[in-house]
Structure 1
Amino acid sequence: MDGESVKAILFDLDNTLIETARAGAVAIQKTSELLKTALGLDDNAISSICDKFKHKLLHETFDPTAGRSIDEVRVGHWQEGIQEILGSCPTPSLPTDCYNLWKNSRLEILSLSPETCSLLKDLRSRYKLLLLTNGETQTQREKVVVAGCEEFFDTIVIGGEHAEQKPFVSIFRLCFGLLGVEAQDCVMVGDSLDTDIEGGLNAGVRASVWINNTGGALPEGSVKPDYTIPTVLDLPGILAELK
């Protein structure tokens, strides 16, 4: 890692700076309770409906030119999940109620911790900071706003607003250009080996830092990050090594 000092840090958002997975679990639990009250089903049936929704969300493809908003698409996920388990949806408004509860419950929890805010403030006094997050534009912008991210970053790049998202090199080059730096001036920090780490390495960043917040071993055959830490709060130690 010899060379000039680091000038910029690119951060992922979900499960790197904010606890999206935990927020999603809480939101699903609250929606499960709504479904149980509305439908009077046992826990297994309710769990199956929620699993259907999560599967559809995970494998979601969204075309903004197709005439449906992301909200409408995700209401449809709930409606399809209910219909696939029950054969029909007994209450027409229930899918919308489920989606609104799930979405709002999740957003309520998505925040930068005080410790993370302090870290970002300190880092921004010494480095250029850029937030680079994959995902559909509206969804990610809503997270950015409720988490209060804007004040901590020089630039925010939402993958859904561009032709290619992480791990494609093009979006990393866009970020380098926006910051006025070279790839070797940058550190990429994120929790996804497939998008954050692979993308950063392919783009030629000075170092990649994997946030392994689950404590699991590096998967067989996966890309190898330069550094691994359990939380973004440990990043200063890595930056000290890179000086």
Structure 2
Amino acid sequence: MVLNGIKAIIFDLDNTLIDTAGASKQAIEEVMKILIDKEQYTEKDAHIICDRFQAKLLHENLDHSKMTIDDLRILHWEEALQSIRPGDHKEVAKVCYTLWKTSRLELMTLSESIKNMLIELRKQARLALLTNGERQVQREKIEACGASHFFDAIVVGGEHAEEKPAPSIFLHCCNLLAVKPEECVMVGDNLDTDIRGGLNAGLKATVWLNKNSSFSSNPYIVPHYTINSVVDLPDVLKNLK
């Protein structure tokens, strides 16, 4: 495969290379079983508890001087449990969190087809992994799926002043890979962060992973290419102009 003018490729992690959404869903199902079978919650209440925990994940505000991300997420479970049954639920919250976290990480894997694709691409281009999120959480995912073996650079947004879609973090990746933006391609599933950021940073091309064949949620963000599976990327790169 000949990569026309492409010297580097930047990949998103969550829901691009690993199925974070699927892993999270299965992990929640494991916690549901514990809540129903061991803690004697009704199925309805167990659903409410899990939904409230997941809602808290979307609006986290971690102060590292006061607690760790693990402590914060145990607190999320505790508050969700208290919303159904007032009282002391610290121990149950720890059990829920440990099970959720462990199950989730175990399910975050790189498929053989994705590994093979990365190996082949790396023979002709430098590869970077660029992921948003809290440092510990993202580093644990990267370790769990063994991604470090396949990339020349790994950048976690939570370790920098700005995350995607800020152009600065894309340009930082380019610097690490020793390439110009116009020699680099961005691949990701999120229009607002991956594609917007790649466009604003002036990368050669952006490739949107649209697994559900849905319409763009933002008509003002137009990727150069769209694929339904990340393993279709080499076909795009071969024909990229």
| RMSD value, Cα | 1.2
Structure 2 counterpart of 1:36: 36
- C-alpha displacement of 1:219: 1.8
2: CA distance, partners of 1:61 / 1:93: 23
d(CA) in 2 for partners of 1:69, 1:238: 42
For residue 221 of structure 1, report the CA deviation from its aligned partner: 3.2
SS at match of 2:44: helix
Number of the residue aligned with 1:58: 58
The answer (yes or no) to whether the contact 2:195–2:221 under 8 Å persists in 1 is: yes
| Post-superposition CA distance 1:60-119 (Å, at most 9, x none) | 12232x221100000011001111222334x43000000000000000110100000000
Q: Which residue of 2 aligns with 1:77?
A: 76
- Give TM-score, length-normalised by structure 2: 0.96
Pick from 141, 149, 154 the counterpart of residue 151 of structure 1: 149
Instruction: State the partner residue of 1:181.
Output: 179
Aligned-pair identity in percent equals 48
- Residue in 2 that maps onto 1:11: 11
Report deviation, 1:222. Answer: 4.5
SS in structure 2 at match of 1:157 = strand
Q: Distance in 2 between matches of 1:11 and 1:226?
A: 15
- Residue in structure 2 matched with residue 234 of structure 1 by the alignment: 232
What is the letter of the counterpart of residue 70 of structure 1?
A: I
Q: 8 Å contact 2:191–2:218 — kept in the other structure?
A: no
Deviation at 1:13, TM superposition (A): 0.3
Aligned pairs, number: 238
Deviation at 1:142, TM superposition (A): 0.7
Matches within 5 A, 1:136-147: 136-147=134-145
Distance 1:230 1:123 in 2: 19
Assess if the C-alpha contact under 8 Å between 2:31 and 2:99 holds in 1. yes
What SS class does the counterpart of residue 215 from structure 1 fall into? coil
Could you tell me which runs of 5 or more consecutive residues in structure 1 were left unpaired when the two chains were aligned.
none
| 8 Å CA contact retained: 2:129, 2:155 | yes
Q: Structure 1 length normalisation: TM-score?
A: 0.95
Q: Specify the alignment match of 1:110 in structure 2.
A: 108
Matched, 1:93 2:91: yes
Unpaired runs of at least 5, structure 2: none
Query: Measured at CA, do residues 81 and 218 of structure 1 come closer, stay the same or move farther in structure 2, by a change above 3 Å?
Result: same
